[in-house]
Structure formats: structure tokens, C-alpha cells
Amino acid sequence: MILMEEQARVGDSASGFSLHSDIVANYILNFGNEEQKQKWLPKMATGEAVGSIAMTEPGTGSDLQSIRTTAVADGDDYIVNGSKIFITNGYLCDVAVVAVKTGDINGGAQSVSLLIIEADRKGFSKGRPLKKVGMKGQDTAELFFDNVRVPKSNLLGMEGMGFIMLMKELAWERMMIAIMCVAGAEFALATTADYVKQRKVFGKPVSAYQNTRFKLAEMRSEIQVARVFVDRCMEQVLKSELSVEAACAAKYWVSDLLSKVVDEGVQLHGGYGYMLEYPIARAYVDTRANRIYGGTNEIMKELISRSI
């Protein structure tokens, strides 16, 4: 949590550290067998191996059960065919945890499995890093699987358990987004407050105007509400009590708040807020994807509504 917050606090959206350490490593740690753990976790800890998690496909993102990447059994191996898109660390990865269909391709959740696939396997190729609106330093790529032969010993957990593992880990992934978003909002407010105290308009600092002070007060109040909620969810994480709904609520509400705070921050900077040399402008393009990845905020509301 400290690492994620510090990265957000310096406006660093470039490194996919937390995805590597807190998502991919967790799949192997929580669901891998001893051999898989010994093979990957030490190398991932030292940084010799970079990890990615590949769920999304060109044809399906929100509806994960509809993935079309297949892993067909052939003796002691699977033959994997398909492609993935928008994969963080995809270009740099040495290993990918890949969601595949081991059962009926038209089947639902019970057909989904997770395979550990090494990047140097024959038939596994990577597209060039995708040209994103922001997060320019971070690699997001397409992955292609063309008759990739993967030993069955690379299966994570059991066949057909993939969806359950994804749902379990996605709660923490969503919490991570909330952690980074609340720290990002604190950073956006701080950089905006500094700016408005220095910039003079009509002979007075921008901060002297009631509109500015009220905006800052609103942002401060809402960020404090978010901070208390995120910290409360984190206490539940530590007790293994975080519910799916709370993780979804934290992800959607705090990422929406971050967008609002950053947008107000840009406005209070005037034209400078639109120039990339200012941290608030970089935050404007870098933070937008928080409402999309990890499950869109609309999907978060779907999941929350099911518990009501």
C-alpha cells in the first residue's frame, strides 16, 4: 500500500510494479503448486521475470465468460490459440497468467481456466506497445497465441476454476485501484493548492477567490471521505473480510472522485492545466483509465447491485 501510494504521490503512472507484485504474483502464490511457486516467485521478487495477467480479448472485456482463447488438451500438453488485448506489462512480460477456455468455447464460467505461459514459448508473440492517451511510460500490449504448446503442469489450480480465481483476486485488484486513486486525488489537490496560491489574477492569488476556496474545500472533504473508506476497506483486507461489493464500491467511487478532482484541478490551473509540463495535466490523461480497467465502473455497479 505504501509503494502504491508513493507512486501515485509523485504522479508516476509509468511502472506496472503493483500489477506485477500484487496481482500476478498473488495468483501464483495463492493458487500455484509448490513447483510453480519455486519456479516463478523468486525470479519475480528480484525482477528477473516480469509478470502480466491476460484476461481481456479484442472481442470481450467486461463479459469475461465469453473469452475465445482456447486451450485444447493434447497428451500432457494444451494447445493454446487466441489473442489478448490491453495487457499491462504485456510487451515486457516474461510470464503471463492467461485466461483460457479449457471446456466448451461457448460454455460459461465453468469452462474458464488459468494457464501460466512463458513468453519464450513457440507461437507466443507480442504486438507493439499500444498508443494510449496517457500512461505513456507503461507498456500495454496485445498478445497472440498461435498453436502454443503449454504443459499441463502450467495449469493454475484446477481446470474450470479460472473464473472463481479471477473473482477472488479481482477484489484485491479493485482495492489496489482505490488505494492508488485516493493517493492520486490527494496529490492532485496538493499540486492544485500550491498553484493557486502562487498564480495571481486581477492582482490577487487565485486562492483568494471564494470560488477557488470552495472548490478546494469540496475536494478536501470528499477526498477525506474516500480516505476513510479506503482505510476501512484495507482493515477488512487485513482480516480477510473485504467483500466483493466493498471492493467494487471503493474502485468505482474513488476512481470517479479522482477524475472529478483532477478535472477541477485542471480548471483552477487555467491554460497551464492543459500543458503536459504541469503535473495536473499529466494526471488528467494518466488517471482516466482507472474508471475502465479492473472492470469498468458500470460493471462495479452491476456487481454491487446484486448484493442489494
Ligand X SMILES: Cc1cc2nc3c(=O)[nH]c(=O)nc-3n(C[C@H](O)[C@H](O)[C@H](O)COP(=O)(O)OP(=O)(O)OC[C@H]3O[C@@H](n4cnc5c(N)ncnc54)[C@H](O)[C@@H]3O)c2cc1C
Per CB under 6 A, does 302 bind ligand X? yes
From the CB of 166, what's the least distance to ligand X, in Å? 9
Classify strands 77-88 and 70-74 as parallel, antiparallel or unpaired.
antiparallel
Cβ-Cβ contacts under 8 Å for 212 (sequence gap 6 or more): 196, 206, 268
Per CB under 6 A, does 307 bind ligand X? no
Under rule CB under 6 A, how many of the chain's residues touch ligand X?
A: 20
Give the active site residues: 173
CA distances from 266 to 50, 171, 296 (A): 35, 31, 24
Give the closest residue to 269 by CA, choosing from 260, 259, 279: 279
Per CB under 6 A, does 176 bind ligand X? no
Site string for ligand X, 28-67 (x = CB under 6 A): -------------------------xxxx----xx-----
From the CB of 183, what's the least distance to ligand X, in Å? 18
Q: How far apart are CA 139 and CA 169, in angstroms?
A: 22
Type of residue numbered 223: I
Give the closest residue to 142 by CA, choosing from 187, 98, 208: 98
Q: Which of 87, 178, 188, 257 binds ligand X (CB under 6 A)?
A: 87
293 within 8 A of 54, measured Cβ to Cβ? no
From the CB of 114, what's the least distance to ligand X, in Å? 12
Touching ligand X, residues 137-166 (CB under 6 A): 140
Of 173 and 186, the one with the shorter C-beta distance to ligand X is 173
Residue numbers of the site for ligand X (CB under 6 A)? Answer: 53-56, 61-62, 86-88, 132, 135, 140, 289, 292-293, 295-296, 298-299, 302
